Structure 1
């Protein structure tokens, strides 16, 4: 859903447009932190019904909090722990309709009810994960997964 702005009901078209906007926004900038920051701000601008969006970046074998929009968050997440760590370990997008039903969920924000996490892999190396939380259950769909994976592919070109 992209109700914060006046976008079409076609979720796929919205993701394509958002990915193009990300590419235009990041073109010419080489600083990875600046690019992750603008990517999280762009996602926050477009999504409704979310309470946190941002990145955890690999550092010394664990995920470390990177640029984000939302309340303060957990700083370090071991690979294999929680939704972010599991997505990082398995190198696959995870949609969690109800975080309370996910074994080992790490509750950084008590308001979070559902979550989607997309791994960021560049040249075969895990760079980190994109994490988005929602205060409502079942917020994220397979269409969101596909669209966010497309978004991450554009981001990878600029980091």
Structure 2
């Protein structure tokens, strides 16, 4: 079992640097994509404060399908361009949403969620899916989270 040593109370820049280092150690030598996504979701969920969901949606047959995650049961399928995940996937850009209740077409999988960040996973120009994090706290995510999670996704894609 992998033991994480990340202190969630340190500055975000340090926290994300350590999170990426932990990720690299966790997935080193493991070629299985799903196994690495599962461990990545657990690492994020248990390392970052104020989350109620952390996981992946994978692109299959033109729609996003729930993949490995931590948290309450989730929406299984999300159309491209719908909700925060579908928008991030369609636009291929990270979406940082301070208040999901103000996001047009937000899909409420968990009524406790108030803010969200979604990072697309793109390898060699191909969209593989998205990393999705939800928080019960309004305005939980900011530019530091965007950079840190984009670095996290880049490290994950480079390792598998």
Which TM-score band (shorter chain)?
Answer: over 0.9
Q: Indicate the residue corresponding to 1:143 in structure 2.
A: 144
What are the ranges of 5 or more consecutive residues in structure 2 without an aligned counterpart?
Answer: none
Shift of 1:157: 1.5
| 1:157 aligned counterpart, secondary structure | helix
| 1:140 aligned counterpart, secondary structure | coil
| Compared CA separation, residues 8 and 70, structure 1 to 2 (3 A) | closer
**Are 2:24 and 2:156, in contact at CA under 8 Å, matched by a contact in 1?**
yes
Q: Indicate the residue corresponding to 1:121 in structure 2.
A: 122
Q: Indicate the residue corresponding to 2:102 in structure 1.
A: 101
Task: Work out the CA distance in 2 between the residues paired with 1:5 and 1:25.
Answer: 13
**Are 1:35 and 1:158, in contact at CA under 8 Å, matched by a contact in 2?**
no
| 2:7 aligned counterpart, secondary structure | coil
| 1:21 aligned counterpart, secondary structure | helix
Confirm or deny that 1:71 pairs with 2:72.
Answer: yes
Shift of 1:10: 2.2
**Are 2:117 and 2:141, in contact at CA under 8 Å, matched by a contact in 1?**
yes
| 2:54 aligned counterpart, secondary structure | strand
| 1:137 aligned counterpart, secondary structure | coil
Task: Work out the CA distance in 1 between the residues paired with 2:157 and 2:134.
Answer: 21
Task: Work out the CA distance in 2 between the residues paired with 1:64 and 1:28.
Answer: 26
What are the ranges of 5 or more consecutive residues in structure 1 without an aligned counterpart?
Answer: none
